Amino acid sequence: MKRFTTCLTSCLALSLAGCAGTGPKPRVAQNEAPANEAYVAAESAGAPAVANKPVIETVAYRFGQQATEADAATDATEIPTAAQPTATVQLVPAAADAPQAAFPTNDSVVVPADNTIYNGPAYTLADLEQLALSNNPSIAAAYAANNKAAGLRRQVGVRPNPTMGYSAQQLADEQTDQHLLFLEQEFVRGDKLELNRSVLSHTASAQRWETETQRYRVLTDVRIRFFEALAAQQQLDATREFEAVARRGVDVATQRQEAEEGTLIEVLQAQTMLSEITLAAERTEVAYRGAWQDLAAIAGLPTSTPARLLAELEPPAHTPDWDTAYGSIVAQSPEMSVANALVCEKAALLKRQQVQMTPNVTGQLGAGFDNGTDSGMINVQLSAPIPVWNKNAGNISAAYADYRRAVQNVKRVEQSIKSRLARTAQDYDATMASVQKYQQEIIPQATKSLELSEEGYKAGELEFLQVLIVRRSYYDSMMRFIEAKGQLAQANAKVDGLLLTGGLDAPQDYTDGDGIRGASFGGQ
């Protein structure tokens, strides 16, 4: 029975399937693969031989199928990693009675697994997240602001220090001078100091939630850039492997021309495709380096030299219900907690300003000696301002305006979350539809077309140029598939990160100094 064959570009399919990670790792069948395996490279037996026609020898490729124990026993070739300098994909040689003659010299294609840009250790997403939480300066700044708020909270509730002094009178009148030591203390009324601490307690709470918000921002940025770099890495690996296939295609076209089986047009077309793929590899490497350097900056890595990323782009199982997602994000968002804490702070500040007019009482106790009477003396003095002209009306009005502004800010944050979620949901739904279309239809169709084109070429039904077109179409489909999965992973990272981004933006400092404590004294 005639068995299905694939073209040489299954080398590319092997890499792309491994990079894309839509299912189990693709396998490369060896010559001993069982006869009932689908898409095994082989030659049909008993067909009439066609002399002097080069064979584009093939390897097996199975997309999205579950591996069996028999597969594991016959699989040998893996996707190149940073520890493997090169990967050699063995081709199945043509049988002696096959309808085509094998190439006279080459029996394998060496795919250069060029990992020269992957210097240093490999990283997982969890590794980079931990590094970012430890190294990102914005998180350290947020913790510093948090400590500042805690210190101010302690400070604004401290009572004023007493005043100790010395007083002398009638010093020019001999034998009538008076000398006095006194102790003075201001007594703060209206619970001003407790209210001060209440205000700063809410400020400190807002600052703690701001720290948590910054952590989410950093983690979301790390995940977005990780998946961007991972997609670029997989595209780069795939392009380099297809570059080796395209280079082999140039050799085939040249040999066909020398054997007077092909034309110069085929050679030029193959060379053009190789040049385009080489250019694509260069552009993809530039994109990968840029994505990695951005990722290194967010994570606070000491070097921006690209390293290997260890992960797969696994599409989510289903699309979220966006109304439910919105409610969940609003309920969990530390950004919302900051806004609510600021409302409480402004309400406490309004209450504090309303008691500012309550006058403080200053008491003084003095003891001394009067030389004129040759006797001691004790003085007691009490004083308090009278709130006649200044009743703190302006500050109360301003505090109420701040409170109303904070209430409206909560609504603004809610609407901002809804707006950002709408854009993220749009990207998510669009890329999810693309991924599913590629996964369920386009890639299987392109794979089948690749196999049929190879069969047609061997049977003499297709020209070499047509095979090149199918190869390039398959490569383009796989590149777009990887790109779509990367974009989907980035959109999913935004949802998981509660739509918080800006890991290197300066965190907000909601503290306003200890001026409120100074206003507690003097009664003004």
DSSP 424-481: HHHHHHHHHHHHHHIIIIIHHHHHHHHHHHHHHHHTTSS-HHHHHHHHHHHHHHHHHH
Q: How many CB atoms lie within 10 A of CB 254?
A: 17
Distance CA 108, CA 105 (A): 9
Place of tokens 């089948």: 448
Tell me the domain boundaries of the chain: 137-161+206-358+412-506
Q: What is the pTM of this model?
A: 0.73
Torsion angles phi and psi, residue 392, rounded to 5? 60, 25
In the DSSP assignment, the letter for residue 438 is: I
Taking the mean position of all CA atoms in its chain, how far away is CA 306? 17
Measured CA to CA in angstroms, residue 277 lies from 274, 283, 293 at distances of 5, 10, 24
Torsion angles phi and psi, residue 377, rounded to 5? -150, 155
The secondary structure element, H or E, covering residue 350 is helix 334-354
Cβ pair 483, 116 in contact under 8 A: no
Rounded to 10 degrees, what is the CA torsion of 452, 458, 464, 470? 10
Distance CA 342, CA 365 (A): 43
Q: What is the pLDDT along the chain (524 residues), one digit of tens a residue?
A: 333 333 333 433 333 333 333 333 333 333 333 333 333 333 333 333 433 444 433 332 233 333 333 343 333 333 333 333 333 323 233 333 333 322 222 333 333 444 456 666 899 999 999 999 999 999 999 999 999 999 999 999 999 999 999 999 888 887 888 899 999 999 999 999 999 999 999 999 999 999 999 999 999 999 999 999 999 999 999 999 999 989 988 998 899 889 988 889 989 999 999 999 999 999 999 999 999 999 999 999 887 788 899 999 999 888 999 999 999 999 999 999 999 999 999 999 999 999 999 999 999 999 999 888 889 999 999 999 998 889 999 999 999 999 999 999 999 999 999 999 999 999 999 999 999 999 999 999 999 999 999 888 888 888 888 888 898 999 999 999 999 999 999 999 999 999 999 999 999 999 987 788 888 887 66
CATH number, domain 137-161+206-358+412-506, options 3.30.70.260, 1.20.1600.10, 3.50.50.60, 3.40.630.30? 1.20.1600.10
Of residues 505, 491, 347, 480, the one with CA closest to residue 425: 491
> Which residues 6+ apart lie within 8 Å of 194 measured at CB?
157
Distance CA 524, CA 518 (A): 10
Cβ pair 519, 392 in contact under 8 A: no
The SS3 call for residue 178 is strand
Distance CA 61, CA 27 (A): 7
What ranges in 438-463 are assigned the alpha helix state H? 443-458
